[in-house]
Amino acid sequence: MRKIIFIPMVAIFSIATTVISCKPSPKEQAAQEDLQEAKEDVKEARVELAEAKRQANAEEWQSFKNDMNAAIDKNDARIAELQEQIKNKGKEANTELKNKVEALKEKNEELKVKMASYKNDADSDWQEFKREFHHDTDELGKALKDLTVDNKQ
């Protein structure tokens, strides 16, 4: 009879010990809650950082766009001046000079199209676009200045 009672009692005691030992302690529960809160805080911080970055890029993009459109307009005005000078010279005007002015005008139009077609989104490489566009605009400005410089001495 003792065996009949003893075996179930040992089994119940073993199961109870296992169940009690599997429960996390209050410290472990608090640590788990703190960990979960920290994970949520990290997620919120990432979202806020991404939003701040988008906002900064949008402001920088608008400023860049305004500056470059002003430079393109300045180039347009310079091209119009050159074309007027060529008209006033009449037949003396060099056809090579006319061709150069037309090529510069086309390049300026390409810059306008490039600026208008650029999408400032997460997939685009904003820094690369900005660097290339600055370079192209500077080169066009230099070409316009150099076009009227008289290198004959």
| pLDDT value, residue 7 | 78
User: Is residue 140, in this structure, part of any structural domain at all?
Assistant: yes
- pLDDT, average across residues 84-109: 80
User: Is residue 49, in this structure, part of any structural domain at all?
Assistant: yes
Residue reference for tokens 């300045």? 74
pLDDT averaged over every residue in the chain: 80
User: Is residue 68, in this structure, part of any structural domain at all?
Assistant: yes
Residue reference for tokens 């150099």? 146
pLDDT tens profile 33-68: 888 898 898 898 888 887 777 776 778 888 888 888
User: Is residue 54, in this structure, part of any structural domain at all?
Assistant: yes
User: Is residue 38, in this structure, part of any structural domain at all?
Assistant: yes
Percent of the chain past pLDDT 70, that is, above it, reads: 84
pLDDT tens profile 111-129: 888 888 877 665 567 778 8
Asked whether residue 21 carries a pLDDT value surpassing 80, the answer given is: no
pLDDT tens profile 66-89: 888 888 899 888 888 888 887 877
Asked whether residue 135 carries a pLDDT value surpassing 80, the answer given is: yes
pLDDT classification of 1: cutoffs 50, 70, 90:
low
User: Is residue 21, in this structure, part of any structural domain at all?
Assistant: no
User: Is residue 18, in this structure, part of any structural domain at all?
Assistant: no
Number of domains observed in the structure of the chain: 1
Half-sphere exposure of 41 (CA within 13 A, CB side): 6
Whether the model pTM is above 0.95:
no
- The DSSP line for the chain is -HHHHHHHHHHHHHHHHHHHHHSPPHHHHHHHHHHHHHHHHHHHHHHHHHHHHHHHHHHHHHHHHHHHHHHHHHHHHHHHHHHHHHHHHGGGS-HHHHHHHHHHHHHHHHHHHHHHH---STTS-HHHHHHHHHHHHHHHHHHHHHHS-----
Domain that holds residue 48: 31-147
pLDDT classification of 149: cutoffs 50, 70, 90:
low
User: Is residue 120, in this structure, part of any structural domain at all?
Assistant: yes
